[in-house]
Amino acid sequence: MKKKIVVSGMRATGPIHLGNYFGAVKNWVDLQEHYDGYFFVADWHALTTDYGDPSAIARNSLEVVADCIAAGLDPERSVIFLQSLVPAHAELHLLFSMFTPLGWLERVPTYKEQIRQIENKDLATYGFLGYPVLQAADILIYRGDMVPVGEDQASHLELSRELARRFNGYYGDTLPEPQALFTPAAKVPGLDGRKMSKSYGNTINIADGPDEIRRKCMSMFTDPARVRRDDPGHPETCNLFQLHRLVSPPDVRERVARECRLAQIGCVEDKKLIADLLIAFLEPMRRRREELMRDPRGLLELLQRGSKRAAVRAEETLGSVRAAMSLDYERLFAERTE
């Protein structure tokens, strides 16, 4: 039986952190087992916000790939590639843009939210409004069955499905509607308790070494209701304990929860403990990514090979799309000679 196809991308905004890992990459790694994976670095999507200074995007793209491979993505099993090396995404995006109603894009919640939140960049651009159209092209160009993403991408996925339907409605059945495969909300809090995010500067990265991890863990916010060492703590509302849920063996986690509630373990002690656990968890990945980053040319070649494989399937789709939209000019003559 043919395996189903999963497609997912990661914006090239910098080295990946625990939030990216638990929210996306770990899922991709697990899916490789049963699906044909198309996983890519979305460098054009990074450009929708960083167009004013795109100088870091190429380097970030390589960092993202190194992190993903270090985390277990396997370039033999999955197609790992760079969005901008598969120009078919751009052509499909252009064709989609012809029939995408503006209202659909203006209503996307992430759009409204980012326009409001990001103040230092002018996001009132054509490209930024079209972000989800490009994402739809990324997915539909591979006729993807499943798209593993976090809940925050739900509206983008819905738009991809609506664009597939609209395309099929105008031009005939060509593009299957992809299903969202939402990552079981692995909420990863950042050092300050807000969602872990590069833009908040509260991340722990795969690239962080032991000293860095210790320093960051010591600065973590813990249970705000536990003011003194002998106050009982509340693991269920403590950031730090969320990390135990992700990386600690069950017996350690249960002991910490119990001792915290009884004020037997203090926050400082617990920070040291979580630092050690995180170091043990991340160290093999960090070493592997460091090794990969020593040969950036090799990483680029890996992406070039992956992009060639991706382009084969993308061109197939584009062929049907052009034909459906009456853009296959050869056909004009083929019909006449029949």
Residues near ligand TRP, by CB under 6 A: 7-9, 11, 42, 45, 135, 138-139, 147, 149, 153, 156
Of 7 and 129, CB closest to ligand TRP: 7
Q: How far is the CB of 51 from ligand TRP (least distance, A)?
A: 16
Of 19 and 235, CB closest to ligand TRP: 19
* DSSP three-state, residue 78: coil
Of 148 and 189, CB closest to ligand TRP: 148
Two structure tokens written together for 2: 């043919």
Q: How far is the CB of 112 from ligand TRP (least distance, A)?
A: 15
Report which residue's Cβ sits closest to ligand TRP. Answer: 9
Cα–Cα distance for residue pair 14/154, rounded to 1 Å: 23
Contact 235, 256 (CB under 8 A): yes
Of 29 and 42, CB closest to ligand TRP: 42
Q: Is 124 exposed, middle or buried (0-12, 13-18, 19+ CB in 10 A)?
A: exposed
Q: How far is the CB of 44 from ligand TRP (least distance, A)?
A: 9
Of 9 and 233, CB closest to ligand TRP: 9
Q: Where are the beta strands (DSSP E) in the chain?
A: 5-11, 36-42, 79-82, 146-149, 179-182
Q: How many CB atoms lie within 10 A of CB 222?
A: 21
Residue at 173: amino acid letter = D
Q: How far is the CB of 19 from ligand TRP (least distance, A)?
A: 11
Two structure tokens written together for 218: 């010591």
Q: How far is the CB of 110 from ligand TRP (least distance, A)?
A: 8
Cα–Cα distance for residue pair 10/8, rounded to 1 Å: 7
Q: How far is the CB of 231 from ligand TRP (least distance, A)?
A: 39
> Within 13 Å, how many C-alpha atoms sit on residue 69's CB side?
27
